[in-house]
Structure 1
Amino acid sequence: MTVIEIPGSKSVTARALFLAAAARGETVLRRPLRSDDSEGFAEGLSRLGYAVVREDGDRVWRIAGRPEGPGEAEADVYCRDGATTARFLPALVAAAPSGSYRFDASAQMRRRPLGPLTRALRDLGVDVTHGEREGHHPLRIDAHGIKGGHLVLDAGESSQYLTALLMLGPLTEEGLTIDVTRLVSAPYVDITLAMMRDFGVEVVREGDRFTVPPGGYRAVEYAIEPDASTASYFFAAAALSPGREVTVPGLGRHALQGDTAFVDVLERMGAEVVRADGATTVRGPRRLRGLTVNMRDISDTMPTLAAVAPYAEGPVRIEDVANTRVKECDRLDACAENLRALGVDVSTGPDWIEIRPGAPRATEITTHGDHRIVMSFAVTGLRAPGMTYDDPGCVRKTFPGFHEAFAALRDTWAAEPPAGT
């Protein structure tokens, strides 16, 4: 059995940073993710006048909350490639009683949509100005407090729009009621609701209506669980390797993150999965079965499955993942492009991809600067040695040490026979 230590969850770290900044008192975060995304979020908080102190070799972050809003009356925040930074921080400052805050982002992030969120903020009376293209970065928020009220939100492109507004709700004078017309990646909203509860706010959900009370947050000590999306690459590596096992501690049956359901997909394909309270283990089968699977709620792991799919005995069809077209890149097209370069037969549609069995040959992966494309096709490379990437360093977004960790896994398995041999 190989035990893999996965860095902290990107999604949980970003939410924890927002909630800590808004809470009354000092919040202590343990084992936060240290990557370009989380560094960008923390840097943004610092520019806005929130105190972020790192201790114990960066394994502990202390955030002094400011429920009254940013400590700076004016600030320029560069969000890098981080979608959570680019979407959550404008919502955080929108509730301030006064101030002018300008946000910009990388060219990649500038292409990603923001419109549903900024329209919702305008509906609440927030003064939002887009600097170039409507619904995209750069933008400026001129804050003068938010009374609250009722919103109708389309979260069909990203659940992050809803998360940003939910976390904003307790900072308004009267709270928020949000009716959602469409929602993608619903488990990420469950993470938000659970974490808001931990920080002292109970959101009432009735179907597609969310009612958020005013009153603010309380500071807590909070441990960040390992990133389930990152764990998917190591679980997939085990599933692709007969007799090999990977155990990820800290991601047990009660984990917050919906992407832990990726192991259910591997189980349907024939992998053996053991879910304990404090860990999950995946063991590779002799053969992988093909399947048809709806991945709407775990779409960040779509590329992981696509990268494994050629080695299944039958076709793998992944459905209801249109939102992956507006991620760091168009992930449906990126997966199809690279699989074809590997010699694999692939078809795609507006919200689906189907991959037929094949024998991938090593090639250079076109990453489009997307960390998930690199990490996914590293799994394919277990059976196609010699894989290279046009931008291997883009993994710094969520897992700067990925290549070293994956190489260590390969080396460990090369030195040890698989179980049962």
Structure 2
Amino acid sequence: MGGTVRHQARADRSIWRTFPRRSGSGSQHEDMAVVDIPGSKSITARALFLAAAADGVTTLVRPLRSDDTEGFAEGLTRLGYRVGRTPHAWQIDGRPQGPAATDADVYCRDGATTARFLPTLAAAGHGTYRFDASPQMRRRPLLPLTRALRDLGVDLRHDEAEGHHPLRIAAAGVEGGDVTLDAGQSSQYLTALLLLGPLTRKGLRITVTDLVSAPYVEITLAMMRTFGASVRREGEVFVVSPGGYRAGTYAIEPDASTASYFFAAAALTGHEVTVPGLGTGALQGDLGFVDVLRRMGARVEIGSGGTTVAGTGELRGLTVNMRDISDTMPTLAAIAPFASGPVRIEDVANTRVKECDRLDACAENLRRLGVRVETGADWIEIHPGAQPVPGAEIKTYGDHRIVMSFAVTGLRAPGGVSFDDPGCVRKTFPAFHETFAAWAGSLR
């Protein structure tokens, strides 16, 4: 997808549903819009690793179909795993002994989970494996993970810049033992090692010196246990027993980070949206974003069947620490100009090493819209009151989350907004523009 997408256009409404509110519900909203969000990227990536490592055939129900997850599945195929696809499920033949291929080249595209998880999976096998990635992914750091793998005896070499792709592994299995890890830049480093643990001969004891986005690690632990692994946390130490994984059927819940754009849009416009399948018992910490919206004045209901957010006509300013839900930082930044007071987001230094420097990207685009913004090493403060510049073009830096976040801003910007690279949403939500425009069209 290229060219301009302007988020004030009507679209095909067949991809959203509205239901009349029940009488006596107490809601000021006449209709309740229900948006079906694609499967979680984080859960799909972990499930693909676990399925590949399990003993038997695993069926993944409603996995995310996007560039990132397709790249992960393609990487598994290159490593010799069988991956069967139907429209609503994937089947993976697991190999506890590691990849069937003894020599392979894997291209990880833009996917951070692919680029970090697949080399770790390959290290448990026997063969020579080479990994490369897109220029965007090549820029993203990898050294804490590759250093830990080397400490565990893995023969791993970076072909160009130390701590970055491309890299190669001469795999001979992993003995296991004690290892120390700094996961202050990305929790994916810890997740990769945790997932590896049951495939080692002795298990792993991982001492973590720093950790960001801790809820993502909780997702990993819960899923590992579902696939039969024994793992526990003792303070800053994670202990993983050997023994492998068991295959089964695993349903992927909707993506909470993606849902944040629709929740934020409802809070911003004074309308209501429900995301089914993402409620009490959800694994993803990013659902905590709705608590931020509640603090700003939105009405939030989290039930067993889904989560509903309704705008009340008020968005209060606030100061919030988003270290644990930093993927939703751009979502909050995008609606902050319309709050009644300043919005200050703190402890999000790790967003500077995502697909782009998201702190700077948010600041630059808000300034393009005429908004006053201040930033520091790990914070951003957005001031209300400015009238958004009509029809501003958003500079995306090829980052899907910048596009989806500022699409929400476009609902209140005169003439909407446009993007220099709208198609980068294919990374996690290829149909985002159609789905979001359909929901926005329902507001008229």
Q: Same fold (TM over 0.5)?
A: yes
Partners of 1:268 and 1:410 in 2: CA distance: 24
1:204 deviates by 1.1
Q: Which amino acid aligns with 2:130?
A: R
Q: Which of 15, 20, 35 is residue 51 of structure 2 equivalent to?
A: 20
Q: Which amino acid aligns with 1:118?
A: T
Aligned residues: 410
Q: Which amino acid aligns with 1:341?
A: R
The equivalent of 1:395 in structure 2 is 425
The equivalent of 1:172 in structure 2 is 200
Q: Which of 123, 128, 137 is residue 156 of structure 2 equivalent to?
A: 128
1:145 deviates by 1.1
Q: Secondary structure at the match of 2:117?
A: helix
Quote the RMSD (CA, aligned, Å).
0.5
1:14-39 Cα distance to aligned partner (Å, 9 max, x none): 00000000000000000000000000
Decide which moves more: 351-360 or 4-13. Answer: 351-360
Q: Secondary structure at the match of 1:256?
A: coil
1:138 aligns with 2:166: yes
Identity rate, percent: 75
Q: Secondary structure at the match of 1:85?
A: helix
Q: Secondary structure at the match of 2:443?
A: helix
Q: Which has the higher contact order (CA 8 A, sep 6+)?
A: 2
1:63 aligns with 2:63: no
Q: Secondary structure at the match of 2:230?
A: coil
Q: Secondary structure at the match of 1:240?
A: helix
1:54 deviates by 0.9
Asked if 2 retains the 8 angstrom alpha-carbon contact of 1:247 and 1:279, the reply is yes
Partners of 2:49 and 2:151 in 1: CA distance: 22
Q: Which of 63, 66, 82 is residue 111 of structure 2 equivalent to?
A: 82
The equivalent of 2:16 in structure 1 is none
Q: Which amino acid aligns with 2:419?
A: Y
The equivalent of 2:17 in structure 1 is none
Q: Which of 327, 331, 340 is residue 300 of structure 1 equivalent to?
A: 327
Partners of 1:225 and 1:313 in 2: CA distance: 34
Q: Which of 200, 204, 207 is residue 232 of structure 2 equivalent to?
A: 204
Q: Which runs of 4+ in 1 moved over 4 A?
A: none
Q: Which amino acid aligns with 2:323?
A: R
1:262-298 Cα distance to aligned partner (Å, 9 max, x none): 0000000000000101100000011100000000000
Partners of 1:389 and 1:270 in 2: CA distance: 29
Give the gaps of 5 or more residues in structure 1. 415-421
Q: Which amino acid aligns with 1:334?
A: A
The equivalent of 1:43 in structure 2 is 74
Asked if 2 retains the 8 angstrom alpha-carbon contact of 1:311 and 1:359, the reply is no
1:202 deviates by 2.3
Q: Which of 181, 190, 193 is residue 221 of structure 2 equivalent to?
A: 193
Give the gaps of 5 or more residues in structure 2. 1-31
The equivalent of 2:282 in structure 1 is 255
1:285 aligns with 2:312: yes
The equivalent of 1:412 in structure 2 is 442
1:253 deviates by 1.6
Q: Which of 153, 174, 180 is residue 181 of structure 2 equivalent to?
A: 153
The equivalent of 2:378 in structure 1 is 351
Q: Secondary structure at the match of 1:251?
A: coil
1:74-96 Cα distance to aligned partner (Å, 9 max, x none): 00000000000000000001011
Q: Which amino acid aligns with 2:304?
A: D
The equivalent of 2:338 in structure 1 is 311
1:256 deviates by 0.2
1:368-415 Cα distance to aligned partner (Å, 9 max, x none): 00000000000000011331000000000000000000100111111x
The equivalent of 1:100 in structure 2 is 128
Partners of 1:15 and 1:50 in 2: CA distance: 15
The equivalent of 1:418 in structure 2 is none
Q: Secondary structure at the match of 1:394?
A: helix
The equivalent of 2:7 in structure 1 is none
Map 1:237-276; keep pairs closer than 5 Å: 237-242=265-270, 244-276=271-303
1:331 aligns with 2:358: yes
TM-score by length of 2: 0.92
1:330 deviates by 0.1
Asked if 2 retains the 8 angstrom alpha-carbon contact of 1:193 and 1:202, the reply is no
The equivalent of 2:25 in structure 1 is none
Map 1:103-122; keep pairs closer than 5 Å: 103-122=131-150
Q: Which amino acid aligns with 2:432?
A: F
Q: Secondary structure at the match of 2:65?
A: coil
Q: Which amino acid aligns with 1:321?
A: V
Partners of 2:423 and 2:370 in 1: CA distance: 25
